[in-house]
Amino acid sequence: MQTKPDRPVRGPIDREQLLRLIEAVMRGMRERSELLDHFECRLAHIDPGPETDVLVAQAARHRRELQTTRRELARIGCSLLSHACAAR
């Protein structure tokens, strides 16, 4: 049984395009990880209150997005542990 792709396929991309795409995704993940660290640090140093709820929600959103991105990269054969991709 054949499954439909999540998104329409535009056609093959070359190695350089793939590497630029993966590098952009990795930059985005680094930025999101830094934001998550910031939120967690603030949470560790503030008293519970309305701001806490906002920070918890933001941190949860960033964790979910990071996990989703990791799964997507794994699906195309990329390893985040070594920062290498099977396409290289």
Q: What are 21-45's pLDDT values in tens digits? A: 888 888 999 999 999 999 999 999 9
Domain residue spans in the chain?
15-19+27-85
pLDDT given for residue 4 in this prediction: 53
Handedness of CA 22, 28, 31, 33 (dihedral sign): negative
The model scores a pTM over 0.85: no
The residue with greater pLDDT, 6 or 78, is 78
Return the HEC string of 23-34: HHHHHHHHHHHH
How large is the average pLDDT for residues 69-80? 77
